Amino acid sequence: MKRVLITGGAGFIAHHVILYLIKNTDWQILSLDRLDYSGNLNRLDYVISGFDKDEKSRVKIIFHDLKAQFNPWIEKEIGDVDIILHLAAGSHVDRSIEYPMEFVLDNVVGTANVLEYARKINDNKTLERFIYFSTDEIFGPAPNGINYRENDRYNSTNPYSATKAGGEELAVAYQNTYNLPIYITHTMNVFGERQHPEKFIPMSIKKIRDGNIVSVHSDKSKTVPGSRHYIHAKDVSEAILFLLNKEINHDVDYGGAKCPKFNIVGSEEIDNLELAKIIAKSQGKELNYEMVDFHTSRPGHDLRYSLSGEKMRKLGWQPSIKLSERIKQVVDWSIKNQKWIEI
């Protein structure tokens, strides 16, 4: 039985990964979290409460703030692990603009402490894989027709994306220097059940339910809405297990970069106005909306992000369920479980 350490286990994406791995493997899961703004133990409790006795026995919750090094007590609590999935991160763009140093500590220093722990336990070369979860935002805004590939240049436009890029480069350095078995993934606009109510999809579900106006970010003309490749957290979890189970022959590029990177991308691009219309239709409600130019008035917000999913498709993975179906699933679940869309 493999033992997997998941940092930020009470976070939105991570708790979906835990649910997926428990249901699709016999692995033991160690969830490490400090339970702050992003972490919500109620998420884990909700998921774990649906497990049978055997499944519950395979989840262990450990409290630790990654700004601090792993002390001997924490190391003993974790024990030996085969895989590390590093998802813990500060991820709120507005908050990163207001408090950039918090994000440097969480996303750069925190990543360094996890990498140091991985280096320590890998002295006997037993660590199978370390996956660092990065973001599409490190590449910056994508002009129309451009879908960034895994090794394209970075252009961080806010402290959140800059610190995620910093953590990513640390991970690359630890593979180059210490030969850690690192993969890096870039995901974009992950959604799903039990997402924080401030995010666009749960916020829109609530506003449409209540007949309120949905603000749709647009260009300065207020005619072109922002667009993304939205992807459900279940699909991200499936992609992670796919990468962990698949033998991948990675070609070192012309510059000698040997750390494999993978874009985990939704199957279709959709603008936020069309997305809001799908949410309204799923509820049988009328959409009341306004186009707002938030991007021009406040630096650090980008109109379009886009990644290429070609590499993962060639490896044999892409989302199997249409985006519209996934959105309807989340809308239906949220209406039945309304406490999760209330702040």
The Cα–Cα gap between 162 and 93 comes to 11
Closest CA to 78 of 38, 120, 47, 112: 120
The Cα–Cα gap between 37 and 196 comes to 10
Answer whether residue 288 is part of any domain: yes
Class of residue 307 by CB neighbours under 10 A (exposed 0-12, middle 13-18, buried 19+): buried
User: Within this chain, do residues 22 and 170 fall inside the same structural domain, yes or no?
Assistant: yes
Nearest 10 degrees: CA dihedral of 64, 69, 73, 75? 90
- More reliable by pLDDT, 148 or 42: 148
User: pLDDT (tens digit, 9 = 90+) per residue, 115-169?
Assistant: 999 999 998 788 999 999 999 999 999 998 999 999 999 999 999 999 999 999 9
Query: Which amino acid makes up residue 215?
Result: S
Answer whether residue 120 is part of any domain: yes
- More reliable by pLDDT, 166 or 93: 166
Answer whether residue 317 is part of any domain: no
User: Within this chain, do residues 151 and 81 fall inside the same structural domain, yes or no?
Assistant: yes
Query: Which amino acid makes up residue 298?
Result: R
User: Within this chain, do residues 185 and 201 fall inside the same structural domain, yes or no?
Assistant: no
Answer whether residue 313 is part of any domain: no
Residue 171 near residue 111 (C-beta atoms within 8 A) = yes
Q: Which helix (H) or strand (E) holds 56?
A: helix 53-57
Nearest 10 degrees: CA dihedral of 56, 45, 108, 143? 110
User: Within this chain, do residues 58 and 158 fall inside the same structural domain, yes or no?
Assistant: yes
Give the lowest-confidence range in 46-55, 94-103, 271-280, 287-296: 287-296
Answer whether residue 309 is part of any domain: no
User: Within this chain, do residues 105 and 219 fall inside the same structural domain, yes or no?
Assistant: no
In the annotation, is 160 catalytic?
yes
pLDDT value for 39 = 52
Tokens 């493999």 -> residue: 2
Among the listed residues 33, 106, 137, 271, the single catalytic one is 137
Is residue 288 predicted with pLDDT exceeding 70?
yes
The rounded mean pLDDT for the chain is: 92
In the annotation, is 94 catalytic?
no
CATH number of the domain to which 107 belongs: 3.40.50.720
pLDDT value for 297 = 55
Residue 206 near residue 248 (C-beta atoms within 8 A) = no
User: Within this chain, do residues 170 and 34 fall inside the same structural domain, yes or no?
Assistant: yes
Give the mean model confidence (pLDDT) for residues 57-77: 95
User: Within this chain, do residues 76 and 206 fall inside the same structural domain, yes or no?
Assistant: no
Confidence of residue 45 (pLDDT cuts 50, 70, 90): confident
3-state secondary structure of 8: coil
User: Within this chain, do residues 82 and 173 fall inside the same structural domain, yes or no?
Assistant: yes
Q: What are phi and psi of 62, to 5 degrees?
A: -125, 135
Q: What are phi and psi of 281, to 5 degrees?
A: -60, -40
Is residue 298 predicted with pLDDT exceeding 70?
no
In the annotation, is 136 catalytic?
yes
The Cα–Cα gap between 123 and 49 comes to 37
Among the listed residues 160, 174, 289, 305, the single catalytic one is 160
pLDDT value for 42 = 83
Is residue 286 predicted with pLDDT exceeding 90?
yes
User: Within this chain, do residues 111 and 222 fall inside the same structural domain, yes or no?
Assistant: no
Is residue 299 predicted with pLDDT exceeding 70?
no
pLDDT value for 221 = 84
Residue 262 near residue 183 (C-beta atoms within 8 A) = yes
The Cα–Cα gap between 229 and 33 comes to 28
- More reliable by pLDDT, 38 or 22: 22
Among the listed residues 136, 150, 193, 271, the single catalytic one is 136
Confidence of residue 94 (pLDDT cuts 50, 70, 90): confident
The Cα–Cα gap between 112 and 335 comes to 40
Domain C-terminal end among 237, 264, 291:
264
User: Within this chain, do residues 19 and 8 fall inside the same structural domain, yes or no?
Assistant: yes
User: Within this chain, do residues 49 and 123 fall inside the same structural domain, yes or no?
Assistant: yes
Answer whether residue 46 is part of any domain: yes
Residue 34 near residue 14 (C-beta atoms within 8 A) = no
Structure tokens at 61: 């919750």
Answer whether residue 101 is part of any domain: yes
Residue 284 near residue 328 (C-beta atoms within 8 A) = no
CA 231 to chain centre: 10
CA angle 328, 133, 246 (to 5 degrees): 85
User: pLDDT (tens digit, 9 = 90+) per residue, 218-267?
Assistant: 888 888 888 899 999 999 999 999 999 998 887 767 677 889 999 999 98
Give the lowest-confidence range in 20-24, 39-43, 161-165: 39-43
Give the torsion sign (CA, 116, 121, 123, 125).
Answer: negative
Percent above pLDDT 70 for the chain: 96
Domain of 118 in residue numbering reads as 3-190+229-264
Please give the tally of structural domains in the chain. Answer: 2
Tokens 């961080």 -> residue: 156
Domain C-terminal end among 239, 264, 289:
264
- More reliable by pLDDT, 238 or 198: 238
3-state secondary structure of 121: helix
3-state secondary structure of 277: helix
